[in-house]
Structure 1
Amino acid sequence: MQTSVSIHQACTLCGNPTSMWCSRCESAWYCCTEHLRSDWPRHRQECVSKSHQGVSSSSYPVNNRIATPPPAEVELITVTAIFFAPEADRWNTTEIHCRPPTRSHQGACPIPLLQNFFPDDDAEDIVLTQGLNSENLRFPLHLWYSPTAIQRNAPINRAVHNITGGSATKAWCGPVVVLKFSGSRLQGYTDAGPNDLPALSTYFLAYK
């Protein structure tokens, strides 16, 4: 059974007494995980694991170790999207957070986080590449909708109904979120806005 060892060292960041250290090099001391995370940009330059030093791991209790490197915090990408809320009379803009692709998927498009708009996780997507008069869109549009809302004849989306003047062949139901690609390669998003409404209206009118 491993017994507790009383260790009194100064935290590398704040100087307060601590008994915890970096689990990788076991030579830098921190009073909490947050201080290791804050100091990591500097400490990582000098942090060498015990195995690479050819030194056996410390006999100090495992509970005293702070995991290194600290968990990476994903920086989300935020873009402006067009939102057609089912109960609203007109479209609106909203901010959408997107998760960047992993290193193994470099070149892929960020993943929009749409759970707040589609709580049942039933969203499907369509990429619109053509606008008025079948002209190719320089910045294609990425439309997300709920197929189950359409299938179960949910209340008509008034915002979509109004943008088409009520002339659409088939009523559109449920929420609709529209993001705008930053180019034809579909590898990123840019802000959507009023200039994208004509292409959307054309699509809604042609939808069957």
Structure 2
Amino acid sequence: MASAIRGLVVLAASSVALWAMGSIYNAKEPDHDPDIREDAPQPRTKDEMKCTSCNAPTSRVCARCKHTLYCSSEHQKKHWKQHRQACVPYGAQLVKKGILLPFDSATPEIVHVACEVAEPEDDDIPWPICHLVCGGEFIGPKSTFCRFYAIAYEQFGPPSRQLDQYLQLGFDDSFLINGALPNKCVRALTPDAPHDWRGHLLVMKNAGQSVDGKFVDASLADIEPVKAYLSLYGKSQPAFNARFV
């Protein structure tokens, strides 16, 4: 895989398909909570062993972070929209901050994303290791076919200024046929977006001008190139699209 990134780069591989929010995933509502497990791993007092939603006594914890307690799956589902920003995947090989563009909210969120460290498959890549988002993370179950598009310019492509650190936009490639709901966040950020984005979108940030190396933490300060990309992706000007096909 060449490191010279044009305005649009497709990264599609099962190893990059995102690690998810557990078995209660529903295609019509692309992001739910992870499973809950019995027995909180950290020692706690009796007063601390209470459901986050209703304050009832419980020992069941979120299977993703193994910290937040819930008495039932129903209460966990109800609270997931609030919990997902603070949910740090327990035991992940690597955790980096990404930007979630949620389908169910108009506001982008910083989330903690479970990643893995791997050796590049292409010998031409100069990096000894690369970072990949674990299968299913925020976008769908492990079986979800995810794509990552590179955002390399401030305004989608030349002659705009090239970013010092490329961004990657991840999404469920089957969202138009699996019943996924329209993305409220994209509509709020870019009301004129020509493409019908659905389900959650996840933005990751690379350490440099490549999508083959390491991730660094993203922040909401990185949102402007994403907005510019979404506002132009799917437009039909032949001269514009010819640069990136």
TM-score by length of 1: 0.58
Cα gap change, 1:89 to 1:103, in 2 (>3 Å): closer
% same residue: 18
> 1 or 2 for the larger relative contact order (CA 8 Å, sep ≥6)?
2
* 1:121 counterpart = 2:144: yes
Q: CA deviation at 1:116?
A: 3.6
Gaps of 5+ in 1: 1-73
Cα gap change, 1:128 to 1:115, in 2 (>3 Å): same
Q: CA deviation at 1:160?
A: 1.0
Cα gap change, 1:171 to 1:114, in 2 (>3 Å): same
CA contact (8 A) 2:148 2:168 kept: yes
d(CA) in 2 for partners of 1:114, 1:141: 19
Cα gap change, 1:75 to 1:83, in 2 (>3 Å): closer
Pick from 70, 76, 79 the counterpart of residue 96 of structure 2. Answer: 79
Cα gap change, 1:75 to 1:147, in 2 (>3 Å): closer
Gaps of 5+ in 2: 1-90, 235-245
Cα gap change, 1:114 to 1:75, in 2 (>3 Å): closer
Paired AA for residue 168 in structure 1: A
d(CA) in 2 for partners of 1:137, 1:173: 26
Aligned counterpart, 2:43:
none
Q: CA deviation at 1:107?
A: 2.4
CA contact (8 A) 1:96 1:114 kept: no
d(CA) in 2 for partners of 1:167, 1:99: 35
Q: CA deviation at 1:104?
A: 8.1
CA contact (8 A) 1:161 1:171 kept: no
Aligned counterpart, 2:201:
176
CA contact (8 A) 1:85 1:174 kept: yes
d(CA) in 1 for partners of 2:198, 2:119: 34
* 1:200 counterpart = 2:231: no
d(CA) in 1 for partners of 2:224, 2:201: 16
d(CA) in 1 for partners of 2:100, 2:199: 11
For each residue in 1:49-82, what CA deviation from the matched residue of structure 2 results, as whole angstroms up to 9, or x when unmatched?
Answer: xxxxxxxxxxxxxxxxxxxxxxxxx971211000
TM-score by length of 2: 0.50
